[in-house]
Chains A and B, each alone.
Chain A
Amino acid sequence: MKAFIDLYIKRLDKPYILKHLGFTTVVVEEYEKRVDNVNGLRIVRGTLLSATRLGELKEKLRGIKEKYPIVLVDPLSVEVARFAAHDGRVDGIWLDGENIKIVDKAQINMMKQYSKPLIISLREYLSLPDQYKSMIYRRIKLAIDRGVTIIPVSSATSYKEYIVPSTIVYLLSFLFDTDYKYWIYTLASAPREILVRNGVAP
């Protein structure tokens, strides 16, 4: 069985379910400890920062790694997106309906250059209007073609919103016309590389 990792959960609810779903490590925003182990499930604290101005992002990033080992950035302007793409403290760039126009070809190329993954919240993606879904589909196809890793996350607030890795890989392979093995990689090995880089891997 693969050791799946969910790179962003907003609020932890019934952690034992995550273990049954096949997760070994989860990154949770609303959690007290930096790194914790609960019944064989490793919980790492992480955060999602959103910023419109460069100064705002720099302010938020100052000393953040001491509290949160995993830092994701939701860029709301081009300058923030470009800065986040090459900053060493940032572990991934968030993609949703709000910043779809910011994540363009130049941004994808820059992310490829600095090995930054693109994070996509499935909960938000599935609730978007069809037009936005098509736009995100195009961005994701572009990123896959350029060799940028896409990491799907649940951003769950309750246990009902958790992703089931054994089914979601097939759904993603149908949605984005890719092999399901690619999605196994993005749910298991790719997030693990980020955890190893930050020294919080199990």
Chain B
Amino acid sequence: MIVEEILLVLSIAILIVSVYLLYNNLKMYRKALLLLKLRIGDEVLARTGKLRKRYIVFAVISQTRYSKKEINEAIRTTFKHLFGEAILAKADPYIVYYDPGVMRGVIRVSHIYKNHVLAVLSLTPKITGLDALILPIKTTGTIKKARKILYSHRRELQL
């Protein structure tokens, strides 16, 4: 009888300890979840860490010869029109190199917003009235490689 009582008390004690430990674990779990939520809320940046650059090699198909400034202005205007000023500031698409002779260039953009710029390229002639088609050729991670690609393609795209 005494043994049974002792066992009962012991089991109750174990139960109380396990409930206490579970409660502590739950608290930790909640904290971790909150931190994760904060990171997800704070844009993709929090997850992706370091900001890397992408270089999009593009070709302009047109009968009119546009300058680097005109193309850059058109792309930035369309980007602002489509995604707003806040995203434009984060993405910062900029033509780092443009050769009017072959009508090809390289756009530098943050790696998170690469797809945004590709989407913008399809709308640029429509929004800004640019008499041209902008065709992305390749996306690279270094400007050296981008320049190599720029001149490696044949000139068949020119009108």
29 CB contacts below 8 A, A to B, read A16-B156, A17-B61, A17-B133, A17-B157, A20-B156, A21-B135, A159-B61, A160-B125, A160-B131, A160-B132, A160-B133, A162-B133, A164-B121, A164-B122, A166-B135, A166-B136, A167-B118, A167-B119, A167-B122, A167-B134, A167-B136, A168-B122, A170-B115, A170-B116, A170-B119, A171-B119, A171-B120, A173-B115, A174-B119
A68 at interface by CB-CB < 8 Å? no
CB distance from A53 to the nearest CB of B (A): 35
Contact between B135 and A164, CB atoms less than 8 A apart: yes
Query: Is the C-beta of A126 less than 8 angstroms from some C-beta in chain B?
Result: yes
B157 touches A20 (CB 8 A): yes
Q: Does A180 contact B (CB under 8 A)?
A: yes
Q: Which of A14, A21, A168 contacts B159 (CB 8 A)?
A: A14
Q: Is chain A's binding surface mostly helix, strand, loop or mixed?
A: helix
| Pairwise interchain contact B157-A171, C-beta atoms closer than 8 A | no
Bound together, the chains give a CA A14 to CA B119 distance in angstroms of 24
List residues of B whose CB falls within 8 A of some A CB.
61, 82, 115-116, 118-123, 125-126, 131-136, 156-157, 159
A164-B132 Cα distance, complex, nearest whole Å: 12
Q: How many A-B residue pairs have CB under 8 A?
A: 53
Report the bound CA distance from A89 to B80 in whole Å: 44
Q: Smallest CB-CB separation from A167: which chain B residue? A: B122
Within the complex, the shortest CB–CB distance from A158 to chain B, in Å, comes to 10
- In the complex, the answer to whether B126 meets A126 with C-beta atoms within 8 Å is yes
A53-88 contacts to B (CB < 8 Å) = none
Whether, in the assembled complex, A163 has its beta carbon less than 8 Å from a beta carbon of chain B, the answer is yes
Report the separation of the CA atoms of residues A174 and B117 in the bound assembly, to the nearest whole angstrom.
11
Alpha-carbon distance between A103 and B119 when the two chains are bound, in angstroms:
28
Which residues on A sit within 8 Å (CB–CB) of B157? 17, 20
Which residues from chain B contact A21 at a C-beta distance below 8 Å? 133, 135
A166 touches B123 (CB 8 A): no
Q: A21-B135, A160-B133, A167-B135 are in contact. List 15 more A-B contacts (CB 8 A).
A: A20-B135, A21-B133, A126-B126, A160-B125, A160-B131, A164-B122, A164-B133, A164-B136, A166-B135, A166-B136, A170-B118, A171-B119, A171-B120, A171-B123, A174-B115
The 9 closest A-B pairs by CB, nearest first: A167-B122, A170-B119, A171-B119, A170-B118, A167-B121, A170-B115, A168-B122, A171-B122, A167-B118
Q: What CA separation (Å) do A20 and B136 show in the bound complex? A: 11
Chain A residues near B123: list those with CB within 8 A: 126, 171
Minimum C-beta distance from B28 to chain A (A): 35
How does the 8 Å CB contact mask read for A1-36 relative to B, with 1 for contact and 0 for none? 000000000000010110011000000000000000
A159 and B126 within 8 A (CB): no
Give residues 167-202 of A contacting B (CB, 8 Å): 167-168, 170-171, 173-174, 180
Q: Which residues of A contact B132 (CB under 8 A)?
A: 160
